[in-house]
Amino acid sequence: MAQLPPLENAPINLIGLRKEAQLDLVEALDSMRGRKLLVLDPKLSGPLTLIVQISLLKEHGVENLSHLSGDPIQSDCTNVIYIVRPHLTLMKLIAAQIQHDKRNQQERQYSLYFMPRRSTACEKVLEAEGVHGGITFGEYRMFPIPFDDDVLSLEHELVLKELQVDGDPTSLWDLALTINNLQSRFGLIPNVKGKGDAAKKVFSIMKKMQEEQALTTPEGQPEIDTLILLDRQVDLVTPMCSQLTYEGLVDEFLNINNGCVELDPAILGGDKKVKVPLNSSDKLYRDLRDLNFGVVGGILREKAASMKQDYTDVKTTNQEFSDLKKFVKKMHALPEMTRHIDISQYLTTFTRKRSFMSRLIMEQTLVEGQEYDICYEYIEEMINKQEPLISVLRLLVILSVTNNGLQKKHFDYFRFVELLQSYGWENLFFINDLERAGLLRKQESKSNWLTLKRGLRLVVSDTDDSNPKDISYAFSGYAPLSIRLVQHALHASGWRGIEDMMKLLPGATFEERQVKNRVKFKREKEKKSSVDGRRALVLVVFIGGVTFAEISALRFLSAQESMKHDVIVLTTKLCNGTSFLQSLQTNPLGG
Amino acid sequence: MAVSVAAEWSAIANRYYRKQEIYRMAWHNVELSGHKVACARFGGMIAIIRDDTKIVRLRSEPARPKLLIFRSSGLLVASITWDRPGGRLIAMGWSDEEILHCVMQDGSVFRYDVHGKLLPDKVWFGQECWDQGIMECIIWGNGIVCLTEANAVFCIPDLGSPQFVKLTQLTLEDPPHCMAIIEPQHTVSGSVEVLLAVESTVMVVDGGSIQDQGTTIGPLGKMVASPNGSYVACFTHDGRLLVVTSDFSKTISEFDTQSALPPEQLIWCGMDSVLLYSDDSVLMVGPYGDWTKYTYDEPVVLIPECDGVRILSNTFMEFLQRVPDTTVSIFSIGSTSPGAMLYDAYDHFAKRNAKADESIRMVGSSIPDAVEACIDAAGQEFRMELQDTLMRAAVYGRTFCRRFSKTRIRETCKTLRILNGVRDPNVGIPLTLQQLKVLTLPVLIERLVNEHKHLLAIRMSEYMGLSPETVVVHWAGAMITAATSVPDPELCNLLLEKLKMYSVSYAAIAAHAYRNGRRTLAALLLEHEPRSSEQVPLLTSMGEEEKALGKAIKSGDTDLVYFTLFHLWQKKSPSEFTRAVQDKPLARNLFIAYARQNEPDVLKKFFASIGQLHRVGELLLWEAWAQSKNPVTRQGSPLQGPRIRLIEEAQRLFSHSKEHDFEAKACDEQARLLKIQHELEAKTGKAIFVDTSVSDTIRTCIVLKNHREAQRIRVEFKVPDKRFYWLKILALAYIKDWDALEKFSKERRPPVGFKPFVEACLQEGQTSEALKYIQKLSDPEEKAEAYAQAGMAKEAAEVAAQAKDSEILGRLKLTFGQSTTAAALFDSIRDRLSLQGG
Q: Do B556 and A204 touch (CB under 8 A)?
A: yes
Would you call B592 and A124 a contact, using CB atoms and an 8 Å cutoff? no
Shortest distance between the Cα of B610 and any Cα of chain A, in A, equals: 18
Is pLDDT of B762 > 70?
yes
pLDDT at residue B402 tops 90: no
The whole-angstrom separation of Cα B441 and Cα B100 is 22
What confidence tens digit (pLDDT) does each residue in A561-587 have?
788 889 999 999 999 999 999 999 877
Averaged pLDDT, B415-422: 92
Q: With H, G, I as helix, E, B as strand and everything else as coil, classify residue B732.
A: helix
Residue count (chain A): 591
Region A521-528: mean pLDDT is: 46
CA dist B653 to B605, B660, B767, Å? 13, 9, 53
From A588, which residue of chain B is nearest by alpha-carbon distance? B626
CB pairs under 8 A between A and B: 134
ipTM (interface predicted TM): 0.90
CA distances from B145 to B140, B204, B206 (A): 8, 13, 12
Q: Is the pLDDT of residue B803 over 50?
A: yes
Mean pLDDT of B272-298: 87
- Looking at residue B837, its pLDDT comes to 38
Contact predicate A406/A414, CB 8 Å = yes
Distance, CA of B66 to CA of B600 (rounded, Å): 64
Query: Phi and psi of B457, rounded to 5°?
Result: -60, -45
Q: Is B157 exposed, middle or buried (0-12, 13-18, 19+ CB in 10 A)?
A: buried
| Closest Cα in chain A to B725 | A384
Nearest to A88 among B597, B621, B694 (CB): B597
pLDDT tens digit sequence for A297-328:
888 888 888 888 888 887 777 777 777 787 78
For every residue of A352-390, DSSP letters joined together read TSHHHHHHHHHHHHHHHTS--HHHHHHHHHHHHTT--HH
User: How far A214 CA lies from chain B's nearest CA (Å)?
Assistant: 11
Q: Which of the pair, B469 or B110, is modelled with greater confidence?
A: B110
Taking CA–CA distances from A411, the nearest residue in chain B reads: B662
Confidence of residue A510 (pLDDT cuts 50, 70, 90): very high
Residues B115, B116, B117, B122, Cα dihedral to 10°: 130
Q: Kindly tell me if the per-residue pLDDT of A530 is higher than 60.
A: no
Distance CA A86, CA A73 (A): 20
Q: Which residue of A has its CA nearest to B729?
A: A385
Kindly identify which residue of chain A lies nearest to residue B730, measuring between CA atoms.
Answer: A385
Nearest-Cα distance to chain A for B562, in Å, is: 6
- State the nearest Cα–Cα gap between B729 and chain A, in angstroms: 10
Given a cut of 80, whether residue B234 has pLDDT beyond it is yes
Rounded distance between C-alpha atoms, residue A471 and residue A469, angstroms: 7
In angstroms, rounded to a whole number, what is the distance separating the alpha carbons of residues B234 and B241? 6
Residue-level pLDDT at B482: 84
Q: Find chain A residues with C-beta within 8 A of B666's C-beta.
A: 416, 420, 425, 428
**Is the CB of A428 less than 8 angstroms away from the CB of B629?**
no
**What is chain B's alpha carbon radius of gyration, rounded to the nearest angstrom?**
47
> What pLDDT sits at residue B827?
63
Residue B436 and residue B415: Cα distance in Å, rounded? 9
| Predicted confidence (pLDDT) at residue B634 exceeds the cutoff of 70 | no
Percent with pLDDT over 70 in chain B: 93
Q: Which of B530, B722, B730 sits opposite A211 (nearest CB)?
A: B530
Rounded to a whole number, what is the distance in angstroms from the first to the last CA of chain A?
A: 29
CA distances from B441 to A338, B152, B434 (A): 68, 40, 12
Residue A58, pLDDT > 80, answer: yes
pLDDT for A3: 73
SS (H, E, C) A180-247: HHHHHHHCCCCEEEEECHHHHHHHHHHHHHHHHCCCCCCCCCCCCCEEEEEEHHHCCHHHHCCCCEHH
- CA A184 to each of CA A10, A179, A218, A561, B692: distance values in angstroms, whole numbers, following the listed order: 18, 9, 7, 31, 54
Strand partners, A137: A112
Closest CB from A117, A128, A201 relative to B556 = A201
Percent of chain A at pLDDT exceeding 90:
49
The gap from C-alpha A310 to its chain's centroid, in whole angstroms, comes to 40
> Can you give the pLDDT at residue B257?
86
| pLDDT at residue number A100 | 93
Give helix B558-571 / helix A170-186 axis angle, nearest 10°: 140
pLDDT at B443 over 70: yes
Least confident piece of the model among A453-457, B215-219, B809-813: B809-813
pLDDT on residue B63: 74
Contact (Cβ atoms closer than 8 angstroms) between residue A400 and residue B668: no
Question: Cβ(B624)–Cβ(B650) under 8 Å?
Answer: yes
**Cβ-nearest to A425 among B593, B666, B789:** B666
Collect all residues of chain B within an 8 Å Cβ-Cβ radius of residue A201: 556
**A33 three-class SS:** coil
Query: How close, in Å, is residue A357 to chain B by CA atoms?
Result: 10
Angle between helix B574-582 and helix B545-555 axes, rounded to 10 deg: 30
**Distance separating alpha carbons of residues B365 and B403, to the nearest angstrom:** 12
Query: Taking CA B528 as the corner, what is the angle to CA B526 and CA B529, rounded to the nearest 5 degrees?
Result: 70
Whole-number pLDDT of residue A494: 87
3-state secondary structure A92-131: HHHHHHHHHHHHCCCCCEEEEEECCCCCHHHHHHHHHCCC
Residue A99 burial (CB count, 10 A):
14
Q: What pLDDT was estimated at residue A574?
A: 94
Q: Identify the band that residue A1 occupies on the pLDDT scale cut at 50, 70 and 90.
A: very low
Q: What is the pLDDT of residues A209-240, one digit of tens each?
A: 888 877 788 878 889 999 999 999 999 999 99
Over range B89-93, report the average pLDDT. Answer: 91
Contact residues on chain B for A206, CB-CB shorter than 8 A: none
Q: Is B45 exposed, middle or buried (0-12, 13-18, 19+ CB in 10 A)?
A: buried
Task: From B425, B420, B417, B464, select the one nearest B445 (Cα to Cα).
Answer: B464
The helix/strand count (H/E) of chain A reads as 27, 15
Highest mean pLDDT, choosing among B2-16, B66-80, B492-506: B66-80
Contact A555/A280 with Cβ under 8 angstroms?
Answer: no
Q: How far is CA B163 from the centre of its chain?
A: 20
Please say if the pLDDT value at position A392 is more than 60.
yes
B556 to chain A: which residues are within 8 Å by CB?
Answer: 169, 172-173, 176, 201, 204-205, 208
In this complex, which of B598, B618, B695 lies closest to A125 when CB atoms are compared?
A: B598
Question: Could you tell me where the DSSP H helices lie in B599-716?
Answer: 600-609, 613-629, 631-634, 640-654, 661-684, 694-703, 707-716
Give whole-number Cα distances, B661 to A412, A416, B300, B420, B614, in Å.
Answer: 10, 11, 96, 86, 10
Contact A383 B723 (CB under 8 A): yes
Higher pLDDT, A29 or B835: A29
Checking if the pLDDT of A98 tops 90, the result is yes
Distances (CA, A) of B457 to A409, B466, B474, B528, B828: 78, 10, 11, 25, 101
Question: Does position B205 have pLDDT exceeding 90, yes or no?
Answer: no
Decide: helix, strand or coil at residue B553. Answer: helix
For residue A116, whether the previous peptide bond is cis, meaning omega lies within 30 degrees of 0, is yes
Cβ-proximal residues to B62 (8 Å cutoff; 6+ apart), any chain: B81
Q: Is the dihedral of CA B430, B436, B441, B442 positive or negative?
A: negative
For residue B665, the chain A residue with the least C-alpha distance is A416
- For every residue of B121-165, which 3-state class applies, written as one string? CCEECHHHHHHHCEEEEEEECCEEEEEECCCEEEEECCCCCCCCE
Q: Are B720 and B748 in contact (CB under 8 A)?
A: no
Q: Of the candidates B533, B566, B814, which has its C-beta nearest A124's C-beta?
A: B566
From chain B, the residues in CB contact with A216 under 8 A are none
Q: Are B490 and B479 in contact (CB under 8 A)?
A: no
Cα A203 from Cα A226, distance rounded (Å): 13
> Would you state the pLDDT for residue B830?
58
10 Å CB burial of residue A83 (0-12, 13-18, 19+) is buried
- Domains defined for chain A, CATH in brackets: 14-141 (3.40.50.2060), 147-235+467-516+531-581 (3.40.50.1910), 246-352 (3.90.830.10), 355-403+405-445 (1.25.40.850)
Q: pLDDT exceeding 90 applies to what percent of chain B?
A: 24
Spatial separation of the C-alpha atoms in residues B756 and B110, rounded to whole Å: 93
* Alpha-carbon gap: A253 to the closest alpha carbon of chain B (Å): 20
Q: Where are the beta strands (DSSP E) in B178-230?
A: 178-182, 193-198, 201-206, 209-212, 220-225
pLDDT over 80 at B291, yes or no: yes
Residues of A in contact with B662 (CB under 8 A): 412, 415-416
Is A126 a residue whose pLDDT tops 90? yes
**Of B630, B663, B789, which has the smallest distance from its Cβ to A428's Cβ?**
B663
pTM (2 d.p.)? 0.75
Residue B695: closest CA among A515, A361, A175, A392: A392
Residue B838: pLDDT band with limits 50, 70, 90: very low
pLDDT at position A528 is 47
Q: In what order do the strands lie in the sheet with B134-140?
A: B134-140, B143-148, B152-156, B165-169
Q: Using a CB-CB distance cutoff of 8 angstroms, which residues of chain B are in contact with residue A384?
A: 722-723, 726-727, 752
Task: Report the phi/psi class of residue B169: left, alpha or beta, with left for phi > 0 and alpha for psi in -120 to 50.
Answer: beta
User: CB-CB: which of B558, B670, B789 is closest to A173?
Assistant: B558
Residues A65 and A81: their CA atoms lie apart, in Å, by: 10
User: Quick one: CA dihedral B284, B289, B292, B298, positive or negative?
Assistant: positive
> How confident is the prediction for chain B on average, in pLDDT?
86
Least Cα separation, residue A206 to chain B (angstroms): 10
pLDDT at B780: 80
Q: What is the pLDDT of residues B314-343, one digit of tens each?
A: 999 999 999 998 898 888 888 888 999 899
